[in-house]
Structure 1
Amino acid sequence: MKVVVGMSGGVDSAVAALLLKQQGYEVTGLFMKNWEDDDDSEYCSTREDLVDVASVCDVIGIDLEVVNFSKEYKDRVFADFLREYEAGRTPNPDVLCNSEIKFKAFLDHAMQLGAEKIATGHYAGVREWRSDGRTEFQLLKAEDGTKDQSYFLYRLNQAQLAKTIFPLANVYKRDVRGIAEKAGLHVHDKKDSTGICFIGERPFREFLMRYLPTKPGEIRALDDNRLLGEHEGLMYHTIGQRKGLHIGGIKGNDTAGEHDAWYVAAKDMKANVLYAVQGHEHPALQRERLIAGDLNWIAGRAPRTNWVYTAKPRYRTPDQPCEIDALSETQAEIAFAAPQWAVTPGQSVVLYESRVCLGGGIIMNAALDALASV
């Protein structure tokens, strides 16, 4: 079977390709260039990554293809990324990048190369499952729960999963580097990439200012509407943010300690006002419910309501027990067993039933209702 592996220059995709080669697949590596605006800067490492991929492919003994998806990335991912920030939401570009680039543009290109399957270095699993007389492909959590990336893959569909292999599904990260070192792959100790998908780790506000100009406005206390300071633009702030407000020395009200930190609690886009509260446990930062839109259910059908699932309202949050209280084709209302901190419009909420990722949607309004108290 011919498999095309998406290779980034990191250790995970290198070991994914190595394992497939060892398992007898006909493997081709594919390196995607997806960003060109400032590729010669200190924040983009495309050239260095390509050199690393070429070296890995040479050691493994597989062919390498290079493709430029910069236009697709800018049109399908980055444009949406900017629109969401401009609207006051906080998007997760890795989610859209996976569904639009890694498992659409890349998948289509791999099929043109004659591949039967594609593979990536994601920590996730896929299995063929037969139930009620129908066969479906399920997206599973990785065996290594500390590295599981199924959250970022919840927008995949049956056609995409049917063509996908995740070689690291049952491999622990601690073992991946050892496998790479034993095979003589020099990327075995390469630092994991972070930051915006394909754009890299960089000073985020300065980067965003290049595309979304400043729009100064007031920062006010949510509890009593006191003027606290000034912001440069609502799009540069997210719910639960603590750093960068420059209001740390302002005394709080009677319910908060004098030295408690201030956190972003809500945005009034119409009035261009940023509302902050004092104290990590302030009630305005806690939400028991949220409404999600732009839904995607991996099985092609919605899960049942009034059934206990778990969900992640953001990637780093541990799985939280919840129920789907109301569901339509376009929206889902999700109730959590315990209040969730800093639930943020624009982020994804992803639902699970045990190890199976069911899908999810984009959080619409959970933090915005804090404005009702102003």
Structure 2
Amino acid sequence: MKQKVLLGLSGGVDSAVAAYILKEQGYDVSCAFMRNWDSYANNDILGNPTIQDDVCPQEQDYADAKAVADALELPLYRVDFVKEYWDHVFTYFIDEYKKGRTPNPDILCNKYIKFDAFFKYAQSMGFDTVATGHYAQVEHGDEYSRLLRGADNNKDQTYFLCQMPKEALRHTLFPIGNLEKHEVREIAEKLALESVATKKDSTGICFIGERNFREFLKNYLPSQDGDIVDIETMEVLGKHIGVMYYTIGQRKGLGIGGTRGPWFVVGKDVKKNILFVTNGNESDWLYTDSCIVSGVNWFPSEKPEGELACTAKFRYRQKDNDVTIRFIDESTVFVTYPQGVSSVTCGQEAVFYLNEECLGGGVIEDVFKDKESMQSKIENRENK
């Protein structure tokens, strides 16, 4: 009896080719298009249906997915996760931005939608396994399933999968993980999947898409001007439009150029609405040598006893950094990297690797340099 697989068909080329590969491998394949965002319904939740927000172009994506499913002669379901996305992804995203942190909603979407809500939906429909078009690989063993980097180093998406539930990983396939992007497009072209073969890769996240990020956030987080302050001298250099719109290490879009630049962001005081910058030595302010990571999702069946030498990415597409990690409780690790790493930022994700295997990841809660947190350094400057 063929194994039944439900594949998330997004309307892009990656999931389209994944569907074809699964069918060729002999699986009993069905497809599902996930609808995760509804601007009008979400604005009603806020009690402000007059918010001006363009609708996510998901209807075109659905039409493209339908064309692929028809071409491959596969059934296509349409499933609605708008409420789940709002409750578990977007609300958290907004709350973190209010705190001046910069979360990664794509990681949250994989954790709560694609590999939780969608996985449970698949089980309720009688499917054994789910599949997606992620550039990642999985090796199913007796004790646990290993999440491995995709063959295309430039497209590897294990960073975004670090928080997917372990149980879901045990029942997941990544059919294109052993391919490079150009190979995926070549397959789509040979199959004459015209709706997706040359379709541009999606950028950003669904509820923002190609729109201006700041303008979108202003619908949900009213901007509040405040001072931009030189952390070295405490001199006010100009005005910002809201500290939540800036990230640690940011160098562009500050509006304070001139002969004294370039300037870069080194800290944020959310309560006082101050954005701290410097044009000094980057290593003095942006480089840290340790951090605390919480909410760690750990794929291996056992956690290491004592210290483990591995590598970590503190943001997507960053090169691997040599680190040593030590669990200080069930889901919190202390991470050290004595060589120093720039712009390790609270609220973002630290993802751990051992060679090609993704071990898991969690949220960066605090960063340190020479046992002094960046916030303490800022407070010391303010009190002078």
TMscore range, shorter length: over 0.9
Q: How does 1:37-76 map to 2 (within 5 A)?
A: 37=39, 44-76=56-88
What displacement does 1:300 show?
4.9
Pair 1:356 & 2:364 matched: no
The residue aligned with 1:108 is 120
CA separation in 2, counterparts of 1:41 and 1:82? 16
What displacement does 1:361 show?
1.0
Q: 1:193 aligns with which of 175, 183, 202?
A: 202
Pair 1:178 & 2:212 matched: no
What displacement does 1:270 show?
2.5
* Contact 1:240-1:285 at 8 Å conserved across structures: yes
The residue aligned with 1:261 is 262
* Contact 1:43-1:199 at 8 Å conserved across structures: no
Change (3 A) 1:270 1:115: same
Change (3 A) 1:37 1:169: same
Gaps of 5+ in 1: 252-257
Partner amino acid, structure 1, of 2:310: Y
CA separation in 2, counterparts of 1:169 and 1:304? 31
Aligned to 1:365, what secondary structure does the other structure show?
strand
* Contact 1:268-1:274 at 8 Å conserved across structures: yes
Q: 1:151 aligns with which of 132, 151, 159?
A: 159
Q: Percent identity?
A: 45
Q: Which moved more, 1:20-29 or 1:332-341?
A: 332-341
CA separation in 2, counterparts of 1:83 and 1:232? 18
The residue aligned with 1:27 is 29
What displacement does 1:13 show?
0.4
Partner amino acid, structure 1, of 2:138: V
Q: Which moved more, 1:6-15 or 1:282-291?
A: 282-291
The residue aligned with 2:45 is none
Pair 1:232 & 2:241 matched: yes
What displacement does 1:88 show?
0.8
Partner amino acid, structure 1, of 2:353: Y
Q: How does 1:71-90 map to 2 (within 5 A)?
A: 71-90=83-102
What displacement does 1:277 show?
1.2
Deviations 1:300-330 (A, max 9, x none): 5433443310000111211111101562224
* Contact 1:265-1:370 at 8 Å conserved across structures: no
The residue aligned with 1:99 is 111
Q: Which moved more, 1:364-373 or 1:153-162?
A: 364-373
CA separation in 1, counterparts of 2:302 and 2:206? 29
Deviations 1:5-28 (A, max 9, x none): 001100000000010011111111
CA separation in 2, counterparts of 1:313 and 1:235? 19
Q: 1:121 aligns with which of 129, 133, 136?
A: 133
Change (3 A) 1:326 1:62: closer
The residue aligned with 1:255 is none
Aligned to 1:218, what secondary structure does the other structure show?
strand
Which 4+ stretches in 1 moved above 6 angstroms?
A: none
CA separation in 1, counterparts of 2:304 and 2:237? 45
What displacement does 1:354 show?
0.9
Q: How does 1:213-232 map to 2 (within 5 A)?
A: 213-232=222-241
CA separation in 2, counterparts of 1:189 and 1:22? 22
CA separation in 2, counterparts of 1:223 and 1:196? 36
Q: 2:213 aligns with which of 199, 204, 217?
A: 204
The residue aligned with 1:14 is 16
* Contact 1:43-1:201 at 8 Å conserved across structures: no
* Contact 1:311-1:352 at 8 Å conserved across structures: yes
Q: Number of residue pairs matched?
A: 362
Change (3 A) 1:284 1:3: same
Partner amino acid, structure 2, of 1:93: P
